[in-house]
Structure 1
Amino acid sequence: MDEADAGARLDAWLAGAVADLSRSRAKALIVSGMVSVGGATIEEPKRPVKPGETVIVTVPPPEPAIPAGEAIALDIVYQDDDLIVIDKPPGMVVHPGAGNHSGTLVNALIRHCGDSLSGIGGVARPGIVHRLDKDTSGLLVVAKNDRTHQGLAAQFADHGREGPLERAYMALCWGVPERTKGIIDAAIGRSNQNREKMEIKRTGGRHAITHFAVAERYGAAGKPPIASLIECRLETGRTHQIRVHLASIAHPVIGDRGYGAGFATKAARLPEPARSVVSAFPRQALHAFRLGFEHPATHEALHFERPPPADMIALTDALKSL
């Protein structure tokens, strides 16, 4: 490092010293711990450089802009030249993102569908019209071309208020709502304490409405039910909407460690074998079991239903045994 460079910001100096490295990229590398000065990792972009210092920067290879296809098995419910309906298993991420660059539904779809996938959803989300949380199972429709993508996107934007879209979920929840049927109308926004979670907002937030109906109750005869099966229908599509709304009325989804962690002690008070099954359940017990929409090309009304996966069936059987 020359005397003329003394006092310059580290990010600015790197941008000038390394070919094809922008200042913003240099700053990101410093903050992520990829730069060392004199053998010590530096994470402060503003740090001034000094004459004689040795700076080492590790530039990771760029990640592909387009996800790679992977040979991942898919449970295909229906497909034609325009779209494909998948029953997504729990544990599968829908599209690549931070920390999930492979093993996603998009990776599987690219391998299965080839070049036919729509690009209107963006290179990282080709054909994706809607999504499910990683640990939520159930039905998803994916467009194979732009015309279908636009037609489906319009239906999902309406959420079935006036159009043909129909989506319903089954959730195994703690306790039983006082009303057999009801509507939860509460705005949802990003949590101020944990940016990875959502919360009910008294001011601000985005309008969110969930319709619910109690389908089954579980518990010992003569005692208040310990859990219930609740069917939910969305009138809006906010992140974590069902999970946040059910938790807001004190009936969180069983296994939901994000919004129902305070109810985990209830499992310890259950008799065996239900105690072991409920305590070990690794995800939120939420399944998108019904999906209906109008085919954008043929205008045919399509309707699909799928039972929950084996883990949720086992959980239901354990609750029924109480």
Structure 2
Amino acid sequence: MTDPFKEAEATRKVLTAPEDASGRIDAWLATTLSGDYSRSRIKALIEEGATLVNGAVMTEPKQKVQPGDVIEVAMPVPRDPEPRGEDIPLEVLHEDEDLIVLVKPAGMVVHPAAGNWTGTLVNALIHHCGASLSGIGGVRRPGIVHRLDKETSGVMVVAKNDAAHRHLSDQFADHGRNGPLERAYQAVVWGRPRQLKGTVNAPLGRAGDRTRRAVKREDAEDAREAITHYAVTERYGETPDGASLASLVECHLETGRTHQIRVHMAHIGHPLIGDPDYGQAFRTKANRLPDEARLVVERFRRQALHAFLLQFEHPSTGETLRFEAPPPPDLERLIEALRLVRTAGSP
């Protein structure tokens, strides 16, 4: 039997029984450690030799606890559950023995994590692909070489074996500088950038929590290079000062940082419509739209971002593959509603 106290992932908890301690030790521990483990799990830990009483291993759950007993418990760190396949429909654009290209819908998380252990793209892929998925990237991220935010829709590629995973990962790490990799997004933003075409070169880092990002100084400890190329493709609603109420912008990524397009567009003063993290201050701009368009904008509760284009080199054949997907229905409705107030014409 292995020693639970020597396991690398065990947490040692030391307790001293108070003067009124009594009853079975498994029941006492279950009460004292309330919220950590159930009584049945405590009992199993005791039987596995994961409990010391006054320095001696104790494997009998029925043993009585005595006032003043020093009790040590080796508590294994909880492991994330392995994802299981779920019969979730997938919109597949291409599939072969090496990879699968699909359109991720808005609202779907890519891989399981706290608060989203089911209903993810990985759950759907495990059901669809079975044992063929690559294991590189961790148990919870089989085959995943890049990701999209939960509320961002668009084209993704997933590896189905280890060799394909390595090849695709190398392409994404290179950001297309030495190969055909290309990623392009459609974003509906507030206002219109002064320059109809431009590049945002602004390092990104954490913004106080695990997920939010902000533009950082280049010498900031967590600053990471982030470059977005953009071009205004449509303008909606001319304002008295000759600007526009909103714009459709095509963004091409030279790097792939968390929330990169969302933060960069907000940084230049044109956050995405519906963005709950970086565009809240612009919500009142909807009041300047005609009623029909205003209602559509107010009901659009996610960032208006769609990964419409993905190009890469096939890991086996070397062929350049290019895939495009039109905006999903909710984003198309938003664009059509804004086109009704379009008076500025094409850029």
Q: What TM-score, normalized to structure 1?
A: 0.83
Matched, 1:210 2:225: no
Q: Do the aligned residues in 1 keep the contact of 2:239 with 2:245 (CA within 8 Å)?
A: no
Tell me, in whole angstroms, the C-alpha distance in 2 between the residues paired with 1:266 and 1:122: 43
SS at match of 2:291: coil
Q: Do the aligned residues in 2 keep the contact of 1:65 with 1:123 (CA within 8 Å)?
A: no
Q: Which 5+ residue runs of structure 1 have no aligned equivalent?
A: 1-14, 27-45
Alignment root-mean-square deviation, CA? 2.1
Matched, 1:317 2:333: no
Structure 1 residue 51: Cα displacement: 2.8
Matched, 1:266 2:285: yes
Aligned length: 283
Aligned AA (1:90): A
Tell me, in whole angstroms, the C-alpha distance in 2 between the residues paired with 1:252 and 1:221: 18
Q: Which 5+ residue runs of structure 2 have no aligned equivalent?
A: 22-27, 42-77, 342-347
Structure 1 residue 282: Cα displacement: 1.2
1:233-265 deviation per Cα after TM superposition (whole angstroms, max 9, x unaligned):
111111000000000000001000100100001
Q: 1:158 maps to which residue?
A: 174
Structure 1 residue 221: Cα displacement: 7.9
Tell me, in whole angstroms, the C-alpha distance in 1 between the residues paired with 2:20 and 2:181: 66
Structure 1 residue 180: Cα displacement: 1.2
SS at match of 1:273: helix
SS at match of 2:244: coil
* Greater alpha carbon shift after TM alignment, 148-157 vs 56-65: 56-65
1:7-56 deviation per Cα after TM superposition (whole angstroms, max 9, x unaligned):
xxxxxxxx99xxxx9436x6xxxxxxxxxxxxxxxxxxx99763325551
Tell me, in whole angstroms, the C-alpha distance in 1 between the residues paired with 2:89 and 2:192: 37
Structure 1 residue 122: Cα displacement: 1.0
**Residue of 245, 253, 269 corresponding to 1:226:** 245
Tell me, in whole angstroms, the C-alpha distance in 2 between the residues paired with 1:85 and 1:51: 64
Aligned AA (1:211): H
Over 3 Å counting, the alpha-carbon distance change for 1:215 and 1:49 in structure 2 is farther
Structure 1 residue 162: Cα displacement: 1.9
Aligned AA (2:18): K
**Residue of 211, 217, 220 corresponding to 1:196:** 211
Q: Over alpha carbons, which structure has the higher Rg?
A: 2
Tell me, in whole angstroms, the C-alpha distance in 1 between the residues paired with 2:162 and 2:211: 31
Tell me, in whole angstroms, the C-alpha distance in 2 between the residues paired with 1:69 and 1:246: 37
Matched, 1:51 2:19: yes
Tell me, in whole angstroms, the C-alpha distance in 1 between the residues paired with 2:326 and 2:119: 24
Q: Identity of paired residues, percent?
A: 57
Matched, 1:186 2:174: no
Aligned AA (1:51): E
Q: 2:155 maps to which residue?
A: 139
Tell me, in whole angstroms, the C-alpha distance in 2 between the residues paired with 1:180 and 1:115: 47
SS at match of 1:218: strand
Q: Do the aligned residues in 2 keep the contact of 1:137 with 1:286 (CA within 8 Å)?
A: yes
Q: Do the aligned residues in 2 keep the contact of 1:268 with 1:279 (CA within 8 Å)?
A: no
Tell me, in whole angstroms, the C-alpha distance in 2 between the residues paired with 1:86 and 1:177: 31
